[in-house]
Structure 1
């Protein structure tokens, strides 16, 4: 039976959208049933429209469905990807998380495998704290954190972050980046399969 994976992202300018797409493709290749979902934009429409790159990304991904509590209930595992904002996840992702109280209260988020990815403008812009702070949320849910650790040599080729893939905005998604994301999502699926 295929693992049901929700790849949920927020992306202002496209970096985390690309990361989520790479992960979704790798998960499908590994046999998972995948839903690629974005979280709803919380910034005012006039602010988004006032920045050309932000507006373009919003228009480019208009057809991607918004994540819901029902998607969280459906999934066996979650891969979350959101940019770093001042050392924690972007407020749009936190706003989505804040809608999950009902499903959390009935145990609908417990015992599910969870992994996360992030990006920032520079290599030391808070990526590790972003991932670790999200994993605290996952622990409150009763989720099972599945970080990549140092379980594949490619981790060292992409910055050596054992908590989850991190990307510097504007850097190319080369084969090492794609391999690291693919490894993380396959590991997540493997652990989710053992839990299921």
Structure 2
């Protein structure tokens, strides 16, 4: 059972969540988990101006995903930063190149799931995951979210991401906030949940 965790991260928040998602998926017997990042579309000059080059060195060792590789997976868990309530441009461009996979039906019946990060608590986390799922439905994927059996999404004593649509984290206005243990727990839960359901579908 092959599970891909495919993400884009500019400052490391989504990458940290992707690691937790992968960790959760690996806890399921028989899961072969592959962590991949989507291609960068911005120049190094722009990334320097945005202060993103140094943070990106932390995950430079993660291989870049090629769109046709998605057809090899039994499940794909996507991670993206929020851009105005939608996925980031890098992820959008990556998915926009999936025409051959759509035409051949290579992703039909495979499990798809989404997690994300946003700058603020109400910065479009849920909208980003929901609008992302529209693309996955067009590709014929079976959508899996983050069920309420992960009780961490119901906390009221702290500011926290995560919803029934998928795990999420809040980066803060200047990106100063990294994922909390509760948010990472949600990511691990989602990874394990996806792997568990994928195993059942395969059987």
State TM-score, norm by structure 1.
0.92
Q: 1:70 aligns with which of 68, 72, 88?
A: 68
Which residue of structure 1 lines up, in the alignment, with residue 201 of structure 2? 195
Superimposed CA distance per residue, residues 28-84 of structure 1 (whole angstroms, 9 cap, x where no aligned partner): 2223101100001101221012233x0112333222111112320111001100000
Say if 1:82 and 1:89, in contact at 8 Å, map to a contact too.
Answer: yes
| Correspondence 1:42 to 2:48 | no
Change (3 A) 1:160 1:64: closer
Q: Distance in 2 between matches of 1:30 and 1:122?
A: 32
Residue 171 of structure 1, aligned match among 172, 177, 184: 177
Two-structure CA RMSD over aligned residues (Å): 1.5
Matching residue of 1:161: 163
Aligned: 1:99 with 2:97: yes
Residue deviations 1:104-161, cap 9 Å, x none? 2101111011110111110101111100001111110110000113122122134561
5+ residue gaps, structure 2, are: none
Q: Is the 8 A contact 2:114 2:166 kept in 1?
A: yes
Instruction: Give 3-state SS (helix, strand or coil) of 2:197's partner.
Output: helix
Looking at structure 2, the residues matched to 174 and 86 of structure 1 have their Cα atoms a distance apart, in angstroms, of 23
Equivalent pair of 2:2/2:72 in contact (CA under 8 Å): yes
Q: Check whether the contact 1:6–1:71 (CA below 8 A) recurs between aligned residues.
A: no
**SS across alignment from 1:187:** helix
Q: Which runs of 5+ in 1 are unaligned?
A: none
Take 2:190 and 2:137, find their aligned partners in 1: how far apart are those partners? 19
Does the 8 A contact of 2:80 with 2:87 survive in 1? Answer: yes
8 A contact 1:114–1:146 mirrored in 2: yes
Range with bigger deviation, 34-43 or 59-68: 59-68
- Cα distance, 1:99 vs structure 2: 1.2
Structure 1 residues 159 and 81: CA distance shift in structure 2, 3 A: closer
On the 8 A contact 2:113/2:144 being kept in 1, the answer is yes
Q: State the partner residue of 1:33.
A: 32
The count of residues paired between Structure 1 and Structure 2 equals 193
Secondary structure of the residue that 1:186 maps to in structure 2? helix
Asked if 1 retains the 8 angstrom alpha-carbon contact of 2:24 and 2:188, the reply is yes
- The structure 1 segments of at least 4 consecutive aligned residues displaced by more than 6 Å after TM superposition are none
Tell me, in whole angstroms, the C-alpha distance in 2 between the residues paired with 1:118 and 1:173.
11
